[in-house]
Amino acid sequence: MSFRFFLLAVVMISVVARAQESQGVNINKNKQDSIHQAYRQALAKQREVRHDSMLVYLEQKAGDSITHLKISACDFNQMPDVSRFSSLKSIDANDNKITSVGKESFESDSLTRINLSNNPLSSIQFPKSEHIISIDLSECQLTSVPRSIRKLKNLEMLNLSKNEIKRIPRFIRRMKHLKELNVNGNRIQLKRAGIRRVKHIDMLLLANNQIQQLPANTHRLQGVRKLNLAGNSLEHLPDHFYELDSLEHLIFYNNDFTSIPLQIFQLKQLVELDFYYNQLREIPEEIGQLDQLEQLFLSYNQIEALPESMGSLKKLRYLFIHHNQIRIIPVWFDDLNTLERLDISYNQLLQIPSLKSLDNLNYLDLQNNHLEDFPWWALDNRKLEILLIRDNPLILSEEEQGTLKTLKEELQLKGVNIYY
């Protein structure tokens, strides 16, 4: 019996055992434990086989024969010797158990991309290189940014997410080609010095850190186009935040804002604004000033009404305002004819006007409201792909129910799905 067949058999036995258990069949606990142990052993065996076969593969390959090396999830405790592969362009060695990597692994002049994510690294050295442009060291248990990264003069993307890093080092300021810095999920307390070190970064990702307040000099991030501050504890913004006039994407998902700071409405280049999971009670009229806005995410708040100025958002494509307290969709909503995706589910809607002008709409979610009238107008939209209107007290005559059933079947053949 092949190993693959054995692993499949073990998985099937485990699935059957869980199904029986869910149906109330009393299964001996020791037998269950044996099944789970066999499953774990099978997985370990699979990784062992992969480890050994990969070593054989590397030994047999000629020095100039590999350009993209994939040695992920092979249970390597140390980095295999890849120094003889002179044509390497990328290395994927993620999901191993590598603790230390020397610079000799990365000395190929053709190497541009390295992925070592999800390894318990305690030491890593990079050589001087003008060719490496992308490094992924996410989930590597790092407590600081490896100093040898400063030798990568043309590095463009650095992913250090999900580590234990507390500060952004000085040398980052001198890495002029670095455009994307991902330090999501660390322990960074952003200070004024940290702002000075990343002011040239184009995409700055600082989500899920321990940031309670932004430094007063945050407006010095003149190069930033995308700023992700999700999952922190922010309540306010510095006074001069409005000077970040290059910002296009601004994410405050899961913070502690009770209102949208007015500084934001002076950021005229914004195309994406995200305030999911805050404590917003209203949308200021000034929202209409963001005339370049294409994506607006305001779900999971306590918003009760939509201001008339939103009718000025002539480029809006995605509007997600589900899980609020909205009761009325205003008539001017029909002016938002660039909308492609609208999710206003889990609100308090009593009715919804005809939105026939939204002829670009392909996704409409009206679930869990108080709607009694079915939005027949939506079925005339040629671009519609999904309509969700479940969990509403719809009032439909027998004739309407029959018509809707027929239309649902016809539209499903065209790739349109209706759920009611």
Q: Which residue has the higher pLDDT, 117 or 8?
A: 117
Over the stretch 382-391, which tens digit does the pLDDT of each residue have? Answer: 999 999 999 9
In-domain check, residue 37: yes
Give the pLDDT confidence score for residue 12 in this predicted structure. Answer: 47
The distance from CA 36 to its chain's CA centroid, rounded to whole angstroms, is 32
Percent of the residues in the chain that have a pLDDT greater than 90, as a whole number: 81
Contact 145, 169 (CB under 8 A): yes
pLDDT band at 6 (very low <50, low <70, confident <90, very high): very low
In-domain check, residue 22: yes
Of 415, 402, 363, 366, nearest to 386 (Cα)?
363
pLDDT band at 31 (very low <50, low <70, confident <90, very high): low
C-alpha–C-alpha distance, residues 380 and 22, integer Å: 44
3-class SS at 210? Answer: coil
Own/partner long-range contacts of 246-249 (Cβ < 8 Å, ≥24 apart): 246/222, 248/272, 249/225
Give the pLDDT confidence score for residue 39 in this predicted structure. Answer: 65
In-domain check, residue 341: no
In-domain check, residue 26: yes
In-domain check, residue 34: yes
In-domain check, residue 9: yes
Over the stretch 163-217, which tens digit does the pLDDT of each residue have? Answer: 999 999 999 999 999 999 999 999 998 999 999 999 999 999 999 998 999 999 9
Of 412, 416, 367, 362, nearest to 389 (Cα)?
367
C-alpha–C-alpha distance, residues 408 and 389, integer Å: 13
How many domains is the chain partitioned into structurally?
Answer: 1
The whole domain housing 22 covers: 3-45
Give the pLDDT confidence score for residue 32 in this predicted structure. Answer: 66
Amino acid at 19: A
Give the pLDDT confidence score for residue 28 in this predicted structure. Answer: 59
Cβ neighbors of 137 (< 8 A, separation 6 or more) are 116, 117, 121, 124, 146, 158, 159, 160, 163
> What would the mean pLDDT of 258-264 be, rounded to a whole number?
97
In-domain check, residue 372: no
C-alpha–C-alpha distance, residues 300 and 277, integer Å: 5
Residue 226 gets the label, from left (phi > 0), alpha (psi -120 to 50) or beta, of beta
> What would the mean pLDDT of 63-80 be, rounded to a whole number?
92
- The residues pairing with 341 across neighbouring beta strands, listed in sequence order, are 318, 363
| 267, pLDDT greater than 80 | yes
Give the pLDDT confidence score for residue 258 in this predicted structure. Answer: 97
The distance from CA 258 to its chain's CA centroid, rounded to whole angstroms, is 24
| 403, pLDDT greater than 80 | yes
In-domain check, residue 33: yes
